[in-house]
Structure 1
Amino acid sequence: MNSTRFGPIVEGTATRFRLYAPDAGHVSVEIDGAAPVAMEKGADGFFTAGVDGLAAGTRYRFRIGEGEGAVAVPDPASRGQAEDADGWSLTPAPVATAVGGVSRPWHEAVIAEVHVGTATPEGTFRALIERLDHYRDAGFTVIELMPVADFPGRRNWGYDGVLLYAPDTAYGTPDDLRALIDAAHERGLGVMLDVVYNHFGPSGNYLPLYAKSFFREDIHTPWGPAIDLENETVRAFFTENAAYWLAEFGFDGLRFDAVHALATAGAETFLREIASACRAVRPDAWLVLENHDNIAGWMTRDDDLFTAQWNDDWHHAFHVLGSGERTGYYAPYGKDVVAAAGRALSEGFVFQGEPYPDDGGHPRGTASTGLAPDAFVSFVQNHDHIGNRPLGDRLAASLAPERLAFLRFVLMLSPAIPLLFQGEEALLPTPFPFFCDFEGELAEAVRKGRRSEFADFFDAHGESFPDPLSEATFFSAKLKAEDMRTPQARAELDAFHRLAEQRRRLVWPLTASPYRGSDLVRTGEALRVAWHYGAGTLVMVLNGGKERVRIDPQTSLPGMPAGASIGGVIHEAEGQLTLDPFAAALWSLAAA
């Protein structure tokens, strides 16, 4: 017996339809071309009905109410749509359990964040299969897909999904997605999926019509009424969804978007339940949080909860160090950026309970010094920090080559898990501006909202500001195979591949062993970080300042063997080093 509560299930020759609609008096299921079938309401608020003899791919939808006032809605747990998110849902075919995937340990993750719609000119799951060899050969071990849950329109970042169980038809069918994951696994690539459980998109969400208990009207978020996580049935809708992606598609892990935005009581219970549900399906699943609250306890390995967290602190500190930008959300990291970078490298979070200026001075974070570096995912860029710039421009379009090389060296050879945004491995300048495909008043509200967010920029640049609703904005973000074949792209891709090989040789043998803690020493604008493991010590020295720095022998380790370096690094007697601006070196020492 299927233990899930949401979405249709096939039982022999019959398809059983289910809809949680506690506020509805009458619900029927309408099969395309046939008369509606009345559904029976249970005490738990679920309506159910069985229909015999339906082939996979049959169109259906629910009708809320009776007569002329009835409203046709898609299944909120649809496994696939015939067209767009507000249209007909499709009955699923029986799916064999797909749990499996690669057996690669987490410390070997080198992640490429990928947006399916722009990673290829075609923008489909099937087209992305043709690019998998590129990611494998470059040195990536994991592909992380931005959200694919069905969203309104033809193009979207994915964070406006409304049918969370249905891969968007713009990208292909559920079987196309399974084929992509299988093809990645055949190449030794793991696949993760970004999922969004803190809100539904602003268009195409019909739940308030018949299931008001999904939301708290008295608690508001940037997206409207908060999802009510005190409600066990509501929590189950999302926990079952997370397990579904692992069980029926074979994803190796999930990234949970902005869990700090879970705004109601029950959020902690929900996160524990969702981790448990995922690990019941696949105990070794990679479960990664985005959480601006910096709660280190979620990544305590003894509790078997979450594997890691995206480390925005790392990004912000190194963005300031490399670019000099100190406005907006970078400001809290600019007062002493070298100290911030050192703490991010050696301890994970920069803010571990200190007052955070952008939050009215309230304390942010908890102590993270005891966590292994691979409890954090680090990045120089990702979809947010590119796409939330006015032009969606990448650092490759503006930052000096030596600074880009320095940032990439530190990212790839420090022991935290590195993530790069699609094309970053070749330092492509292809922009990734915000785009969507809404209509009417909502479209204009989005357009005005983006212009208001960057009012000063828009006033100065006028029509150069990308219209988020324009198809041209979407097309500007698409990667092309020929972009990877230019001499400059090939050179940068070769440099990235060398870093990936150095990570395999120098970092992985140590990070496979138990973590023992770190040491940090600062000399002027330079840092020396030593990460201690059971198998040995990994040491990195780096100078993100404007002046050459000599590192005293007492702050270096003796007997430095050959390792890796970038920029001007002069090896002197007795382990002394001189580092030019934006130079760095790394080496490893075996345990005695």
Structure 2
Amino acid sequence: MRRAHSMPFGAEVADGAVRFSLWAPSVREVTLMIDGAERPMNAEADGWHRLTDPLARAGSLYRYRIEGGLSIPDPASRFQPDDIDGPSQVVDPTAFAWTDSEWRGRPWEDAVIYEAHVGTATREGTFAALTAKLDHLRDLGITALELLPVADFPGDRGWGYDGVLHYAPDHAYGTPDDLKRLVDEAHRREIMVFLDVVYNHFGPSGNYLPTYAASFFTERHQTAWGAGINFDGATAAIVRDYFVHNALYWLEEYHFDGLRLDAVHAIADDSSRHVIGELAERVRAGLPQREIHLVLENAANEARWLDRDEAGRPVLHSAQWTDDTHHAWHRLLTGESDGYYADYDDPAGHLGRCLAEGFAYQGEFSAHEGAVRGEPSAHLPPSAFVNFLQNHDQVGNRAQGERIGALTDPAKLSLARAGLLLSPQIPLLFMGEEWQASTPFQYFVDFADPELSKAVRDGRRREFGSFGGFAAEEVPDPTDAGTFARSRLDWTEITRSPHAEVLAETKALLQLRHDQVAPLTGTPFRGANCRRPGPDTLDIRWDFAGGTLRFVAHFGAGEAVMDGPGSAGMIWASPGIEAGSDIRLQPWTGAFLVARS
């Protein structure tokens, strides 16, 4: 099986030659520099420069010279063997032989997501090393591996959100074939693979587009990263195509099963058809025979993107990461109330609303934001929401990068773990969470520019040095290779206590999810409600065509007495909890019950 995505950008191998295409509307002359030779490109309409070279081949190294001066990599490069400032390499995607020709994906309701940063998920930090961990994920009960962004970013270490060459897997992780092999092997184990993509900005180093395609950006929209990407101006069609083709490229040429779109609330687009809507429509139309899943990060809580059709399938996007659920759990578990946690002053109530309705903020005023936030979401099924107790952001954006296991009591975390993995929303585990890894996940970068490195280092220390008891010099230096090294998972922990016990608990919960919860969530959703027998007590019921799932939990002091199980069977409970005519819960205990239709 051979796969290739055809697109108007970049270098395309066909018929014994290579066609090169660069959109450079700000300049008149472009020269292709390839394998030591120079060839003038043909200037065509609408800012395109093209050339078909019969001597080029897969493996050829090339750059574009702009009007006799600056030499740049291809913005649609398929590979950068020497990083973002080096030459691009011609890749023939049909050279890779896939073995997953029968794979069509899995239903979204099956998803149990494992979020991983390739560079720190293993000691080697490569696609190949992560491939070797797929058996662990399968045996754990993971059905979807989600990779932090792999689009080529500056240097050898970074989170991936500073990518500037969106079509090139980062050289530090391996080759394009290594990434394809990871996806192919995951599919052989019936594991979906998702990719995090960043369409709201480019990184601060290595973005040459403004020098030859100034209209790729616009001053009409300002973002946290500077001028906005031009999704709605005079030349927006080509800009939008760059990103829509990028989505299709990863889904088709690399056979990814889905994408997570980073911070779509930061994508400024005043056109009548927002780019994330166009992207979803073209993906759905272009790959109708596959189970493709599009997930949003959207701080605006815009439920409109998550609508379902009459059959209950996503019209555009499959789900959204729900920070609200995380923030409620986090405040319950830690008591922290700084920053955005201040908005969750009734954490049990906010958690109950999230689990029953999706968002905690559905149009209410957010004191932290200083504005109204969110849209009504109770009409959406639980599968429209991805829940988590931690992720790369929530861990890595702490000063020391501590995981939730370092911040709360194990008994409390045990209840939260069950609440995450047995609730009907789509659960996400951050790499190492399955065994409560002790290693932090800290913020790290690798910029060659010393001034940029200094700015990042000083900014990080200013951000955290003024609170939380940290002196500025105690905040880890993002540019220090040691910060990256500390963030690598230590897989030897899984055989030692207490990590081995947590791993066994996580695996048992995921087996319960597969056996007891999935048969319900695979049937049509009928609705949900949340009762609060006390201020720190929740009683949540989700009704499906196949039956009812119930979660009872008590987070306060003393004993809480709940209604009995009736005809429901208890599938999980905290130690010491039994179901008689009523359910008696001690502090930080809970239970899940199922009644079949």
Could you tell me the TM-score, scaled by structure 2's length? Answer: 0.94
Among 555, 568, 580, the residue aligned to 1:572 = 580
Among 541, 561, 568, the residue aligned to 1:560 = 568
SS in 2 for 1:278: helix
1:539-564 CA deviation, whole Å, 9 max, x = no partner? 1101122332112x3xx551232311
- CA deviation after TM superposition for structure 1 residue 293, in Å: 0.7
Deviates more, 1:347-356 or 1:447-456: 447-456
Among 281, 291, 294, the residue aligned to 2:301 = 294
**Alpha-carbon distance in 1 for matches of 2:105, 2:334:** 38
- The 5 A counterparts of 1:502-521 are 502-521=512-531
SS in 2 for 1:44: helix
Q: Is the 8 A contact 2:105 2:292 kept in 1?
A: no
1:34-65 CA deviation, whole Å, 9 max, x = no partner? 1x111112212111011113221110010001
Distance change (3 Å), C-alpha of 1:328 and 1:100: farther
- The 5 A counterparts of 1:215-364 are 215-230=217-232, 231-266=236-271, 268-283=273-288, 284-302=291-309, 304-334=315-345, 336-360=346-370, 362-364=371-373
- CA deviation after TM superposition for structure 1 residue 103, in Å: 3.1
- The 5 A counterparts of 1:317-466 are 317-334=328-345, 336-360=346-370, 362-438=371-447, 439-457=449-467, 460-466=470-476
Paired position in structure 2 for 1:531: 542
Q: Is the 8 A contact 2:464 2:475 kept in 1?
A: no
The aligned amino acid for 2:238 is T
Aligned residues: 580
What's the C-alpha RMSD, in Å, of the aligned pairs? 1.7
- CA deviation after TM superposition for structure 1 residue 25, in Å: 1.4
Q: Is the 8 A contact 1:393 1:432 kept in 2?
A: yes
Q: Is the 8 A contact 1:567 1:584 kept in 2?
A: no
Q: Is the 8 A contact 2:539 2:553 kept in 1?
A: yes
Deviates more, 1:264-273 or 1:243-252: 264-273
Q: Is the 8 A contact 1:509 1:535 kept in 2?
A: yes
- CA deviation after TM superposition for structure 1 residue 3, in Å: 5.3
- Residue 474 (1) aligns with residue 476 (2): no
**Alpha-carbon distance in 1 for matches of 2:40, 2:105:** 47
Report the identity percentage: 46
Q: Is the 8 A contact 2:434 2:503 kept in 1?
A: yes
The aligned amino acid for 1:560 is A
The aligned amino acid for 2:566 is P
Deviates more, 1:259-268 or 1:454-463: 454-463
Paired position in structure 2 for 1:589: 595
Distance change (3 Å), C-alpha of 1:3 and 1:144: closer
**Alpha-carbon distance in 2 for matches of 1:426, 1:272:** 38
Distance change (3 Å), C-alpha of 1:264 and 1:560: closer
- The gaps in structure 1 that reach 5 residues or longer are none
Q: Is the 8 A contact 2:80 2:87 kept in 1?
A: yes
SS in 2 for 1:359: coil
- CA deviation after TM superposition for structure 1 residue 97, in Å: 9.7
- CA deviation after TM superposition for structure 1 residue 462, in Å: 4.3
Deviates more, 1:141-150 or 1:458-467: 458-467
**Alpha-carbon distance in 2 for matches of 1:311, 1:268:** 24
- CA deviation after TM superposition for structure 1 residue 535, in Å: 0.7
Distance change (3 Å), C-alpha of 1:450 and 1:267: farther
- Residue 115 (1) aligns with residue 117 (2): yes
Q: Is the 8 A contact 2:461 2:473 kept in 1?
A: no
SS in 1 for 2:591: strand
- The gaps in structure 2 that reach 5 residues or longer are none
**Alpha-carbon distance in 2 for matches of 1:258, 1:478:** 25
- Residue 26 (1) aligns with residue 29 (2): yes
**Alpha-carbon distance in 1 for matches of 2:31, 2:538:** 66
SS in 2 for 1:226: strand
Q: Is the 8 A contact 1:567 1:580 kept in 2?
A: no
**Alpha-carbon distance in 2 for matches of 1:386, 1:539:** 30
Distance change (3 Å), C-alpha of 1:97 and 1:312: farther
Could you tell me the TM-score, scaled by structure 1's length? Answer: 0.95
Among 183, 186, 199, the residue aligned to 1:184 = 186
